Amino acid sequence: MTLHIFGSLNMDLVCQTPRLPVPGETILGTEFTTVPGGKGANQAVAAARLGAAVRMVGRVGNDAFGQALIQSLQVEGIETGDVQIEAGVSSGVAAIAVDTSGRNHIIVIPGANGRVARSDVERLSARLAPDDTLLLQFEVPLPEVMAAAATAQQQGVTVIVDPAPVRNDLPEAFYGLVDWLTPNQVEAEQLVGFPVADQKSAAAAAKVLRQRGARAIVIKLGAEGVWVEAADAAFPVPAFEVPVVDTVAAGDAFNGGLAVALSEGVSLLEAARFATATAALSVSQAGAQPSLPTRQAVEALLAAHIG
């Protein structure tokens, strides 16, 4: 049973700042770091640290960032033979500002991620087996994301899509390819076209997204927890209370945790709690991949909150 990630690898260029600037403003920050990230690679690392066998398909540039991004996956035991090194383009980068409350602004320059092509889908397709899981995001081209979802569906693979960065050009056919769609609050609002501010509005949004064809929905509401909506269950899961240092990659941590738990066959409630605990631990550490917790840490947090 393998978790496949078809998606992005970015080097995160992170500026710590007392507060986020407003448009037109220059402010002095406090620290600069380069940290391996990218929604695809983060979800791969999250799943690997939780104990899954993980393969990554994607592209990096022929530059120092590309080498570092591949190495950051390899040290986690992730299979990277299908991460292509692309000549003539930079690796993906993300310019990130993080304030002292852990809030962030992120601008992604796709670089080599934008060169992901049908040949990558074919490589992925050849590796899939019926009990596997595929995790997708929107930092590589949409036609390839949809082709990857379609081949996975044909092969009986569970498809989990993190619709980030959110897009307003999704064809109706997209939703029918998705087993689990996991927008955050902002993404859910943009997908459904009405405000999503709490569990009640998240439940309404989840119903709309299921009516479009996605089989199950998790709406991630940050400190408010998540709303889970599937064919035979609909329920909220509260967030764990943790000190917030940096929310970058919290959604990726959640998706890695959800994929691992679902692939292990636990109940929906247990899977959602496992994913919520994974995300909680990630926000209490700085950086994308450095913040992703181990299985032991997630199980300890869950155990501390039982009974």
**By C-beta, is 106 or 302 nearer to ligand RIB?**
106
Please report whether residue 248 would count as binding ligand RIB according to CB under 6 A: yes
Closest CA relative to residue 216, chosen from 200, 199, 231: 231
How many residues contact ligand RIB, by CB under 6 A?
16
Instruction: Figure out which of the listed residues 44, 78, 89, 94 binds ligand RIB, where binding follows CB under 6 A.
Output: 94
Please report whether residue 44 would count as binding ligand RIB according to CB under 6 A: no
Please report whether residue 251 would count as binding ligand RIB according to CB under 6 A: yes
User: Does the annotation count 82 as an active-site position?
Assistant: no
Please report whether residue 139 would count as binding ligand RIB according to CB under 6 A: yes
Residue nearest to ligand RIB (CB): 37
Please report whether residue 12 would count as binding ligand RIB according to CB under 6 A: yes
Region from 32-40, 181-189, 206-214, 268-276 binding ligand RIB, contact rule CB under 6 A? 32-40
Please report whether residue 106 would count as binding ligand RIB according to CB under 6 A: yes
Region from 37-45, 54-62, 197-205, 290-298 binding ligand RIB, contact rule CB under 6 A? 37-45
Region from 8-16, 81-89, 216-224, 260-268 binding ligand RIB, contact rule CB under 6 A? 8-16
Closest CA relative to residue 174, chosen from 148, 135, 207: 148
Please report whether residue 246 would count as binding ligand RIB according to CB under 6 A: no
Q: What are the residues binding ligand RIB (CB under 6 A)?
A: 8, 10, 12, 37-39, 42, 94, 106, 108, 139, 248-249, 251-252, 288
Which residue numbers are catalytic? 252
